Structure 1
Amino acid sequence: MKKALIIGSGIAGIAASIRLALKGYHVEVFESNAYPGGKLSEIEIQGYRFDAGPSLFTLPEQVEELFRLAGHKPEDHFEYLKLEVACHYFWEDGKRIQAWADINRFADEVETKLGEPASHIREALKRSAFIYDHLAPLFMHRSLHRLGTWTNPQALKSYLKMGKLGIFSTMNKANERQFSHPKLVQLFNRYATYNGSNPYETPATLNIIPHLEFNIGAFFPKKGMHDITLSLYRLAKSLEVSYHFNSPVEEILVENGKAVGILAKGQEIRGDVVVNNMDMVNAYKTILRKQKQPKFLLDQPKSSSALIFYWGIKAKFPELELHNILFSDDYRTEFEHIFKKGSIYHDPTVYINITSVYKEDDAPAGCMNWFTMINVPNNQGQNWDELIAAARKTIIEKVNRILKTDLEPLIEVEEILDPRTIESKTSSAQGALYGNSSNNKFAAFLRHANFSSDIKNLYFCGGSVHPGGGIPLSLLSAKIMAEMI
């Protein structure tokens, strides 16, 4: 039986282990942490449970497909529900908008609250669906680094629509054409943050994202986001995949231009295929340091990072949903601080994720678990202790103003994740959440392929390579990679 060695058990690494096991490989996974999941893990503190990383769940069929491939009914192993409200948006002037999953209801809400014609929402989401229909088969489900991708009928059809797909405009400019109210432009510009980008620079093709959240839907796993990791990990184990935790890989072994195994804990382990799920940049700097370096890709600007406060709040706020956004009054300046100044704006946009809204046992009775996050620059050696202290103060003041409360006495427990700890815990270069940034029209082509063009039998998956970061794209990277083997 052929052996596949996988480095890293992020969600893409787990998915890769399942797909290769189903192809008949004996699969061994080597993980430096003591747990699977990478960013998609959990934290428990004094009766509060927090999903540590990604908090939005879209395209659940990518998870279900793995169970079906293994001959299982997904619902027997993994359950989720569709959200009635995708997100609740708040502004300093008292304006509030609930982004209802029902598009007509959302459109009517926008017209009532902002005076923006409801038809503008429906038209924008039709355009988002159009982008998805043309680009998803090309950019999300295929390798951009194989000729067949560019010569298939779907690609040829899309070439004729390039002007309508947003490639030649920025997200912000496209949204200013779609909407008249600046608050609605801001709401739709927010989707750039879903892959750590700047809406004033990233191409308008990223307006594909609202289609996932509205036309297809936003969802919540009934046992929390961490259940995506746990359910797929259990599936992998049932397929006799071997997981080695606390086992950092020291080197990918290459002989005569071919990957032949790995070095872990001073021991050589041989394999027929090696799959790297570690951040691509850090992999080349460490376990591939002896090999030819793709300098151009490694030197690309990195995506933004995050500063997260996991707060146990000993109170309930009935106006808050699972996903909540408290917007900055100056979005453009906020992004200039993140991407140009490498700092944190004094009025950041605050995202609050509260899983106890749907999963009550994630917090003690009468309490809530706040995953409180702001977008911040990646780690460039800033004085993070100073930045974190200032950000914490401004976040609390913003919450107090908008929710008319006094938050500080309600914070019962606290843990902090910043770009430094994101980098150390997940091996993400500079603590960037999504690898290379998408702040130019060629960004899709500036991600590493799902295979090595220099080393045979070496493959790549995860959020730092094609097709990109986030749960659905990471799962698709494993699919694209496995189909090559």
Structure 2
Amino acid sequence: MKKKVIVIGSGIAGIAASIRMAVAGYEVEVFEANSYPGGKLSEIRLGAYRFDAGPSLFTLPEQVEELFAIAGQDASDHFKYKKLAITCQYFWENGQRVSAFGDIEKFSEEMYTKIGEPVANIRKALQSAAYIYEHLSPLFMHRSLHKWNTWMNPHALRTYFKMGKLGIFDTMNAANERLFEKEKTVQLFNRYATYNGSDPYQTPATLNIIPHLEFNIGAFFPEKGMHDITQSLYKLSIGIGVKYSFGQKITEILVKEKKAYGVAINKKEHHADIIINNMDMVNAYKTILKNQYQPTKLLNQPKSSSALIFYWGIKKHFPELELHNILFSDAYQKEFEHIFNQKTIYKDPTVYINITSVNKQDDAPEGGMNWFTMINVPNNQGQHWDVLIQEARQNIIHKINRVLNTDIEPLIEVEEVLDPRTIELKTSSAQGSLYGNSSNNKYAAFLRHANFSSNIKNLYFCGGSVHPGGGIPLCLLSAKIMSEMVLKD
């Protein structure tokens, strides 16, 4: 008789975990409180417009392909994507614009032509990012930080002698100010801190690993949109026997004699040999694990930033815009001080606009565009969000009008808003934070929950709130690390 696994939550890590456990021969059932799979990686439809609801950047596609491969299928038969020729368009208030070409030589020349940054500096920065990735990814991305064998293997021992070159003792901003001559180049590379909800003026320079993924390896776009990552893996999991129960909110993880043996939905019990929690770690301990030992230090860690998103159907085509677009603040450090210190929104926020209709034309009517318009904001600590949202909306519109020389508001045909409160409500993310605990100190990597419980046997964790972190690739890797632990245990 097959052993049974229950997965709590069908975020992308939960789906990946279900695939890995089913392939390993377990009977798998996923319980999801929402009526749909994917968590943040879902979609929104407003009239004739379709939007990817959450994560918009796709890197390391091999992490998706591997799930098809272990299930004995060819990913290209089910999931197609293409590499981006331009990873992002950058705009500043003074009229300067930069196309971040996927080709490093073209990008280096673009930065020199438009910004005046020496080509050698861009090359050096991306070589440094590759160096960090080469030495740290085997430790921090592919293994548990909570097992002694991670720290005692030969690769780890060699890495200890290179710590000074890996950015652990610097902030991202300090490292970038040494690397680059131009303030705008520093700002562009500081932006990568936001990829895990951090502040470049506080977070360690090890996060300069991120440009390696986007430039040296590449950024990609699924042909059917980001939501197809969820849909294709969901279909794969069903095809190999995973069962899903939607609209089922777990009320408790059942534990006896320090061993998890099932879950409860109200008073109905569902028993299993292995329990995998894909729910946000903080909210899980506050709710479904409230009667168990609480890892107070981890639970009380500062949380990452959140987001304020306006899904706008725009009845006009802007040829100067690409899939990813950034309209930079003129006072970048002040923006982060407002987010992380003052817990509010700066009057001149950096605006990110994701437009999938650039690559997937049926996401908007002919002559229109689907704008996923986002700014980074603090997590929810009881701010007067209704007031902040209205102020931010006007500031965003004024900025777009200035930078693109337009009048955008009359062009907004449909609108929906997602803020930290609704992010928490829809995804159970503590305080609406997008990436769990903050990475704004050098020990942040060690202040994430392990992929297993050290107090409750047969209880495991995956997802963006635990090791190795948030974002699609890391969530998928969390499921891999976790499933390898289950099989070893």
Please give the range of the TM-score, normalised by the shorter of the 2 chains: over 0.9
After TM superposition, list the pairs within 5 Å mapping 1:302-321 onto structure 2: 302-321=303-322
Letter of the aligned partner of 2:281 in structure 1? M
Per the TM alignment, residue 165 of structure 1 is displaced from its structure 2 partner at its CA by 0.1
Aligned to 2:41: 40
Aligned to 1:424: 425
Query: Residues of 2 paired with 1:301 and 1:399: CA distance?
Result: 32
Query: Residues of 2 paired with 1:462 and 1:266: CA distance?
Result: 27
Which whole-Å deviations, capped at 9, do the CAs of 1:265-305 have from their partners, x for residues lacking one?
43100000000000000000000000000000000000000
Query: Residues of 2 paired with 1:113 and 1:358: CA distance?
Result: 25
- Given that 1:350 and 1:372 are in contact with CA atoms closer than 8 Å, whether structure 2 keeps it comes out as yes
Aligned to 1:356: 357
Aligned to 1:437: 438
Aligned to 1:474: 475
Q: What SS does the aligned partner of 1:409 have?
A: helix
Per the TM alignment, residue 341 of structure 1 is displaced from its structure 2 partner at its CA by 0.2
Letter of the aligned partner of 1:478 in structure 2? A
Letter of the aligned partner of 2:395 in structure 1? T
Q: What SS does the aligned partner of 1:249 have?
A: coil
Query: Residues of 2 paired with 1:408 and 1:451: CA distance?
Result: 49
Query: Residues of 2 paired with 1:433 and 1:306: CA distance?
Result: 7
Query: Residues of 1 paired with 2:240 and 2:294: CA distance?
Result: 35
Kindly report structure 1 stretches of 4+ aligned residues shifted beyond 3 Å. Answer: none
Aligned to 2:396: 395
> Is residue 14 of structure 1 aligned with residue 15 of structure 2?
yes
Per the TM alignment, residue 113 of structure 1 is displaced from its structure 2 partner at its CA by 0.9
Per the TM alignment, residue 114 of structure 1 is displaced from its structure 2 partner at its CA by 1.2
Q: What SS does the aligned partner of 1:233 have?
A: helix
- Calculate the TM-score normalised by the size of structure 1: 1.00
> Is residue 4 of structure 1 aligned with residue 10 of structure 2?
no
Aligned to 2:368: 367
Letter of the aligned partner of 2:156 in structure 1? A
Which whole-Å deviations, capped at 9, do the CAs of 1:201-227 have from their partners, x for residues lacking one?
000000000000000000000000000
- Given that 1:314 and 1:368 are in contact with CA atoms closer than 8 Å, whether structure 2 keeps it comes out as yes
After TM superposition, list the pairs within 5 Å mapping 1:58-457 onto structure 2: 58-457=59-458
Letter of the aligned partner of 2:466 in structure 1? V
Unaligned ranges ≥5, structure 2: none
Which whole-Å deviations, capped at 9, do the CAs of 1:353-407 have from their partners, x for residues lacking one?
0000000000001000000000000000000000000000000000000000000
Query: Residues of 2 paired with 1:346 and 1:178: CA distance?
Result: 29
Query: Residues of 1 paired with 2:157 and 2:66: CA distance?
Result: 28
Which whole-Å deviations, capped at 9, do the CAs of 1:401-451 have from their partners, x for residues lacking one?
000000000000000000000000000000000000000000000000000
Query: Residues of 2 paired with 1:154 and 1:239: CA distance?
Result: 36
Query: Residues of 2 paired with 1:22 and 1:246: CA distance?
Result: 25
Q: What SS does the aligned partner of 1:341 have?
A: coil
Q: What SS does the aligned partner of 2:17 have?
A: helix
Which whole-Å deviations, capped at 9, do the CAs of 1:177-199 have from their partners, x for residues lacking one?
00010000000000000000000
Which whole-Å deviations, capped at 9, do the CAs of 1:429-478 have from their partners, x for residues lacking one?
00000000000000000000000000000000000000000000000000
Q: What SS does the aligned partner of 2:44 have?
A: strand
Query: Residues of 2 paired with 1:254 and 1:90: CA distance?
Result: 53
Q: What SS does the aligned partner of 1:78 have?
A: coil
Q: What SS does the aligned partner of 2:341 have?
A: helix
Letter of the aligned partner of 1:382 in structure 2? Q
Query: Residues of 1 paired with 2:187 and 2:342: CA distance?
Result: 21
Letter of the aligned partner of 1:66 in structure 2? L
Aligned to 1:25: 26
Q: What SS does the aligned partner of 2:251 have?
A: strand
Q: What SS does the aligned partner of 1:29 have?
A: strand
Query: Residues of 2 paired with 1:45 and 1:170: CA distance?
Result: 41
Query: Residues of 2 paired with 1:306 and 1:115: CA distance?
Result: 32
Letter of the aligned partner of 2:201 in structure 1? Y
Q: CA RMSD in A?
A: 0.4
Query: Residues of 1 paired with 2:115 and 2:22: CA distance?
Result: 52
Query: Residues of 1 paired with 2:428 and 2:90: CA distance?
Result: 33
Query: Residues of 2 paired with 1:265 and 1:235: CA distance?
Result: 30
* Residue identity (%): 72
Query: Residues of 2 paired with 1:115 and 1:464: CA distance?
Result: 39
Query: Residues of 1 paired with 2:92 and 2:62: CA distance?
Result: 34
- Calculate the TM-score normalised by the size of structure 2: 0.99
Letter of the aligned partner of 1:85 in structure 2? I
- Given that 1:92 and 1:329 are in contact with CA atoms closer than 8 Å, whether structure 2 keeps it comes out as yes
Query: Residues of 2 paired with 1:332 and 1:112: CA distance?
Result: 26
Query: Residues of 1 paired with 2:477 and 2:76: CA distance?
Result: 21
Per the TM alignment, residue 121 of structure 1 is displaced from its structure 2 partner at its CA by 0.4
- Given that 1:247 and 1:265 are in contact with CA atoms closer than 8 Å, whether structure 2 keeps it comes out as no
Per the TM alignment, residue 116 of structure 1 is displaced from its structure 2 partner at its CA by 1.1
Count matched residues: 485
- Given that 1:87 and 1:325 are in contact with CA atoms closer than 8 Å, whether structure 2 keeps it comes out as yes
Letter of the aligned partner of 1:237 in structure 2? I
Query: Residues of 2 paired with 1:322 and 1:475: CA distance?
Result: 23
- Given that 1:142 and 1:480 are in contact with CA atoms closer than 8 Å, whether structure 2 keeps it comes out as yes
Query: Residues of 2 paired with 1:468 and 1:348: CA distance?
Result: 25
Letter of the aligned partner of 2:447 in structure 1? L
Query: Residues of 2 paired with 1:450 and 1:385: CA distance?
Result: 37
Aligned to 1:465: 466
Q: What SS does the aligned partner of 1:373 have?
A: strand
